[in-house]
Amino acid sequence: MANVRVERTEEGGFRATNARGAEVLIGGGDQDGVFTPVELLLAAVGGCNIVTVEPLTAKRGHRLVRLEMSVQAEKAEPNKLGPVTITYDVELPSEQADEVFRAVAGRVHEKYCTVSRSLQEGTEVRLELP
């Protein structure tokens, strides 16, 4: 099970932490040094894809020279995102690596990235109040 805790800090910002001690600062788009909640969602999509693509490509004998991506979305409504677009920026060691990378990235996007699949299929979000 995945679990994070989000709390207000003494400075008036917000912090998300996990059980392993990692933390991310959260705030509004007008604050420096923090992620907005939408940016965190986009980072989760990108992170899920890239941390799955990299080892699967390397396992097939093609360590990519450079592997980066950008993830973006426009708002479709004031409080709803439109389509999320993932754009890879890679440097490949060979043509064979290109074929492997494209196949792996496609499969990861379609089947293995939990975050992307959950967004695409519309995972229910429940609210529990004290």
> Residue 15 and residue 4: Cα distance in Å, rounded?
10
pLDDT digits (tens, 9 = 90+) for 3-55: 999 999 998 899 999 999 999 999 998 989 999 999 999 999 999 999 999 99
pTM of the model: 0.90
**110 is written with which tokens?**
């379609």
Rounded to an integer, the average pLDDT of 75-79 is 92
Find the largest Cα–Cα distance for the chain.
57
- Residue 110 carries which DSSP code? I
3-state class (DSSP) for residue 57: helix
Q: Is 11 helix (H, G, I), strand (E, B) or coil?
A: coil
DSSP, collapsed to helix, strand or coil, labels residue 114 as helix
Contacting residues for 69 by C-beta, under 8 A, at least 6 apart: 46, 49, 50, 86, 87, 88, 89
Residue range 59-72: mean pLDDT, rounded? 93
- Determine phi and psi for 91, rounding to 5 degrees: -120, 120
Q: What is the pLDDT of residue 49?
A: 96
**What's the CA gap between 103 and 73, in Å, rounded?**
24
pLDDT of residue 98: 93
Span 94-126, pLDDT tens digits: 889 999 999 999 999 999 999 999 999 999 999
